[in-house]
């Protein structure tokens, strides 16, 4: 699963895989189907939703789509 390999590269470079949005930071970690997305606490990730990875697109394109879904999800949650 390519997305897990690419994710590991990010971790090995010392980068925390997250997006900053108005309400704070949103983290993501790989699953069998894509990425679990949510906020973090002292026990780990509190999953809000799952992003399905599309292997027809590059890792970067999937991250761009993930970012758009995160913004949409959390903007709707604020209303």
Question: What is the 8-class DSSP label of residue 17?
Answer: -
List the one residue out of 6, 7, 69 whose CA is nearest residue 38.
69
pTM: 0.83
Q: Show pLDDT as tens, one digit a residue, over the chain (79 residues).
A: 678 888 888 888 888 889 988 878 999 999 999 999 999 999 889 999 999 999 999 999 999 999 999 999 988 766 4
List the one residue out of 48, 13, 9, 14 whose CA is nearest residue 28.
48
CB 72 within 8 Å of CB 48: no
């Amino acid at each position: 699963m390519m997305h897990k390999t690419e994710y590991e590269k990010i971790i090995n470079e010392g980068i925390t895989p997250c997006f900053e949005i108005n309400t704070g930071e949103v983290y993501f970690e790989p699953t069998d189907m894509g990425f679990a997305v949510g906020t973090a606490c002292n026990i780990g990730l509190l999953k809000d939703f799952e992003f399905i990875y599309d292997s027809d697109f590059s890792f970067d394109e999937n991250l761009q789509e993930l970012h758009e879904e995160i913004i949409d999800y959390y903007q709707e949650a604020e209303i």
